[in-house]
Amino acid sequence: MQVVIQPDAEAIATLVADEIERLLRERPETVLGLATGSSPLAIYDELVRRHEAGRISFARSRAFMLDEYVGLPDDHPERYRNVIEREIAGRVDFAPGAVQGPDGNAEDIPAACAQYEAAIAGAGGVDLQILGIGSDGHIAFNEPGSSLASRTRIKTLTSQTRRDNARFFDGDVDAVPHHCLTQGLATIMSARHLVLVATGAGKAEAVHHLVEGPVSAMWPATVMQHHPRATVLLDAAAASRLQLGDYYREVFANKPAWQGL
């Protein structure tokens, strides 16, 4: 696992956007994995800037979302499909239908989950998966206790996650759905490069477990320790509980330029 500690979210966004730009130039058909939440927003803004400057095009690429609430009306602003449209997809030049997410309003949920797995596999898998982390250590919506071998399925959100996400629902925790569809941990682990972003002291405990704790379903993000190419980008506050912070800084400062992110 590569740990990169940067001054702020903008510096992190520049590094991630550099890598995505490199991928899109090398192979315009690159498949991206998109996350919701506040953590990736600076990355999306930077990608939009580069798109508007004519540096990158998403016209031949595709993207898969990590998760979706169950039961929100199609036009609800916090439905993840609408969030992704607002924050990135609708601001760049993806082809119609090129961005997909699990269907949280499907009548047959298990069938919708299986179809979503097949769609990701049919696209050849995800090249670069952007991830945030929940304060309880979840990635996508794989809450504590999730099987490390899980695939896309329905999950029940913890009350902590519902409280954390109430800020997107005018502070009303009762408005946050109880259920979601989420890519499983094994689905996420199939992506070729995992890029997790965390900023702020509220993430320090989860980051400590993710990077330096034992692998455990109690802190689902720790499964990333088994991934051959996982990059964790942090600000100083999110990195504040890491034992080997100085070592990670030294490794990154001395990294050969040809290695990329």
**What one-character DSSP code corresponds to residue 157?**
P
Instruction: Reply yes or no on whether 138 is catalytic.
Output: yes
Q: From the CB of 140, what's the least distance to ligand GLP, in Å?
A: 5
> Other C-beta atoms within 10 Å of 82: how many?
16
The one segment of 36-44, 45-53, 122-130, 240-248 that binds ligand GLP by CB under 6 A: 36-44
Q: How far is the CB of 138 from ligand GLP (least distance, A)?
A: 6
Residues 98, 60 contacting (CB under 8 angstroms): no
**Should residue 132 be labelled a site residue for ligand GLP when binding is judged by CB under 6 A?**
yes
Candidate residues 5, 17, 33, 36; the one interacting with ligand GLP per rule CB under 6 A: 36
Q: Mask 45-84, x = binds ligand GLP (CB under 6 A)?
A: ---------------------xx-----------------
Measured from the CB atom, the residue of 140 and 234 that comes closer to ligand GLP is: 140
- Give least dist CB 134 to ligand GLP, A: 5
Residue 85 annotated among the catalytic residues of the structure: no
> Long-range contacts for 111-117 (Cβ within 8 Å, ≥24 apart)?
112/181, 113/151, 113/152, 113/153, 113/154, 113/181, 114/152, 116/64, 116/152, 116/181, 116/183, 117/151, 117/152, 117/187
Hey, what are 82's tokens?
A: 């609408």
Q: Could you say whether residue 140 binds ligand GLP (CB under 6 A)?
A: yes
**Residue owning tokens 């002291």:** 201
Positions that interact with ligand GLP (CB under 6 A): 35-39, 66-67, 132-134, 140-141, 161, 165
Q: Which residues are catalytic?
A: 67, 136, 138, 143
